[in-house]
Chain A
Amino acid sequence: MREVELLVVGAGPAGLGAAIEASRYGAKVLLVDDKDKPGGQLFKQIHKFFGSKEHLAGTRGFDIGLRLLKEADSLGVEISLQTKVLGIMEKDIISLLVEEKEMELLKAKRIVLATGGVEKALSFPGWTLPGVMSAGAAQTLINIERVLPGERILMVGSGNVGLIISYQLLQAGADVLGIVEAAPSISGYLVHAGKVMRAGVPIYTNYTIKEARGSKSVEEAVIVALDKKWNPIAGTEKKLPADTICISVGLNPNEQLASLAGCELKFFPELGGFLPIHDDNMESTKKGIYIAGDLSGIEEANSALDEGRLAGISVAASLGYIDNDKFKRLKEEYWNRLDKLRGGPFGYTRAIAKKGIISSFQQKEIVYQERDNKKLEANTKLKKYKNIPSLKEFQEFPGYPSLSRIKKGAVACIECIQEIPCDPCVAACPFEAININPHITSLPYLNENKCKGCGACIASCPGQAIFVLNYNYSSEKVAISFPYEYLPYPKVGGRFMGVNRKGKPVAEVEIVKVDKRANFDKTAVITIACDKKYINQIRSIERIKDDA
């Protein structure tokens, strides 16, 4: 029977991270995945990622996937695709099903489980009609299969997944009729919400889907407002002519294989539900079986990748490929990186829950949590929004230039007002005019005297939250530059409707520049000229429809 040193199950970011690090230090690795391509969800991610330089922030997800595959290949990781793990049997023998027709048995000295997450379902009358699908399924259709699931989409859930996929559906050419959110505020990042709202997509907070109607497939969606106890309020129903309803209400860790392998599971609602507990080396309660990525708690790709790398070095160290001192150093480095990603108001409940996993592994009472809770809370100013904030609110933040500076001429305007782990704008500025200190989750601070309004930061911002305002474009007109990622691009000299942050038409504007330079990586920077009074209002143009 074949015996490998390390079997990694799941070739998404966590599994690739584990396989890469373990083989970097000398372990022989077999990486298996049930799909016909490696990369997990990475190749569906066409947007620029958040994070810091070491996380390749500002790079699009599929490009990160390509780099990881290249690295895995150069390190000699063996990847077996269309390979399902059927079970871990007696005497720790693992049974694999290859291409649905071949059984293989093997033994592994160590196993890393990186089986990812499963999208949660939401049941409502009509949810089994064709046209109702998970948001992830819609994303696979548009970004992998290049097929539009429908033309008029209703998105259920305003977390980052719902917001990002709504944006990508717009990019693919669909109309998004609205996003419903049962909570009283937008649950994902405001910058993601900003992208779809500038395109005119309404977000209905305190709303849920009531029913999908249609004879053979979805023809209409009925949404309804919720009261404070989440009960539907009769008479508030709205009918939307949707042909597709996408469900994006969170994920569960895909824990079945871990459970079957005998790993102890515990319930962490902040991280998606039941998951295998692990120690700070990512080792589960079953010795020799390690856990990484969404399986150990639903987060995002960067955290999954770093957790995978951490599991990889732990395996390499346990096999004797890394000495203790070096392992300690590397481990600390990865924990620092993970702590950074879990900083800020959005990461804070996850950070607490992650500590809970490790302390429940150590069978310690989770008594210190309260203290840590307070410490973390003190470092965060969680502010969630129902809608795009007013201009006055934006102006209170350190990225918005003062009125006197705006009147002096071209200057960056950073509308990034939530503490999220992201900093590519700092490196993009050639004049060191943007600072993010002391944490990666701190808000960007604009040194408006150093800023020359060159606009190098605009395309670098994964949140598309940076604009350049040029008050002195001409005697009557100002110029406003903004990022734009829809095809077809507008042409210089064209006249379009300028829209505000909520996508509402403000005034007709003229396109004066379309900058598509290569290092903007497909984010065009459009400059428009308009009346001076709109300098703090207009932030984009109406999306140009292909068939227009």
Chain B
Amino acid sequence: MPKDNEKNCIKKIICRCEEITEEEIREAIREGYTTIKAIKRRTRAGMGLCQGRTCSTLIRDIIAEMTGNKKEDILSDTVRPPLYPVELNVLGQKKIED
């Protein structure tokens, strides 16, 4: 991946769903949030409609570049159900019976 000029990223959005910029991600990493999970909680990146399907790879690249950590050691956030957005009245339709 071509390296980015840090000055060039102020208005570059990384998480489109939550409109989180690259600068906000880099700021969080400088503050010590160096996992995808921590960055999500600090900045909301990955909390939106697509649940990080697009941005988590981009965030992993930025973490790897700034911390020198290997990409394979930068784990994705825990996946939880529901995998897709679902209306609450639909979610409440069924109850698990024994």
Q: Is the CB of B96 within 8 A of A90?
A: yes
Q: Is A379 interfacial (CB-CB < 8 Å)? A: no
Whether A231 and B81, one on each chain, are in contact in the complex, defined by CB atoms closer than 8 angstroms, is: no
Report the bound CA distance from A532 to B93 in whole Å.
76
Residue B29 at the A interface, CB < 8 A? no
On whether the beta carbons of B71 and A269 are closer than 8 Å, the reply is: yes
Stretch of A100-108, A196-204, A363-371, A442-450 contacting B (4+ beta carbons < 8 Å): A100-108
Whether the pair B96, A260 counts as a contact (CB closer than 8 A) is no
Q: Which of A249-304 contact B (CB under 8 A)?
A: 252, 254-257, 259-260, 265-267, 269, 273-274
Nearest chain A residue, comparing its CB with the CB of B11? A125
- CB-CB under 8 A from A255, the residues of chain B are 76
Known contacts A87-B81, A125-B11: A93-B58 contact under CB 8 Å? no
Please, which residues of chain B bring their CB within 8 A of the CB of A232? 2, 5
- The contact string, 1 if C-beta is below 8 Å from chain B, for chain A 116-128, is 0010110111011
Contact B58 A123 (CB under 8 A): yes
Chain A residue nearest to B50 (CB atoms) is: A118
Instruction: Give the docked Cα–Cα distance between A100 and B2 (Å).
Output: 40
Interface contact B12-A125, CB-CB below 8 Å: yes
Choose one: B51, B58, B72; the contact of A267 (CB below 8 Å).
B72
B2 touches A230 (CB 8 A): yes
Q: Are A128 and B13 in contact (CB under 8 A)?
A: yes
Contacting residues, chain A, for B1 (C-beta < 8 A): 182, 230
**Distance between A492 CB and nearest chain B CB, rounded to angstroms:** 49
Q: Could you say which of B72, B78, B79, B86 contacts A97, with CB atoms under 8 Å apart?
A: B86
Among residues 1 to 43 in chain B, which have CB atoms less than 8 Å away from a CB atom of chain A? 1-3, 5, 8-9, 11-14, 16, 22
- Asked whether, in the complex, the Cβ of B53 is within 8 Å of the Cβ of A256, the reply is yes
> What is the interface size of chain B, counting residues whose CB is below 8 A from a CB of the partner?
37
Count, chain A residues at interface, CB 8 A: 47
B12 pairs with A208, CB closer than 8 A = no
- What is the minimal beta-carbon distance from B86 to any residue of chain A, in angstroms? 5
Chain B residue with the shortest CB-CB distance to A101: B90
Interface string of B68-79 (1 = CB under 8 A from A): 000110011011
For A211, give the chain B residue with the smallest CB separation: B8
Q: Return chain A residues, CB-CB under 8 Å to B94.
A: 95, 103-105
Q: Is A85 an interface residue (CB 8 A)?
A: yes
B67 on the A face (CB < 8 A): no
Pick from A97, A101, A208 the residue with the most CB of B within 10 Å: A97
**Closest residue of chain A to B71, judged by CB?**
A267
Within 8 A of B (CB), among A328-351: none
A220-259 contact mask (Cβ, 8 Å, vs B): 1 or 0: 0000001001111000000000000000000010111101
Minimum distance in angstroms from B65 CB to a CB of chain A: 11
**Which of B3, B51, B97 touches A231 (beta carbons < 8 Å)?**
B3
Residues of A within 8 A of B86 (CB): 86, 97, 100, 103
* CB neighbours of A123 from chain B (8 A): 12-14, 22, 58
Contacts of A147 in B (CB 8 A): none
Q: Are A121 and B58 interface neighbours, CB within 8 A?
A: yes
- Report the minimal beta-carbon distance from A369 to chain B, rounded to whole angstroms: 16
Q: Are A182 and B2 in contact (CB under 8 A)?
A: yes
14 pairs, CB–CB < 8 Å, chain A vs chain B: A1-B97, A86-B84, A102-B93, A103-B86, A118-B53, A121-B54, A121-B55, A125-B8, A127-B13, A229-B3, A254-B53, A260-B80, A260-B83, A274-B76
A1-B97, A230-B1 known; 14 other A-B pairs, CB under 8 Å?
Answer: A86-B86, A89-B81, A97-B86, A97-B90, A100-B87, A120-B57, A123-B58, A182-B1, A256-B53, A256-B79, A257-B79, A259-B79, A260-B80, A269-B72
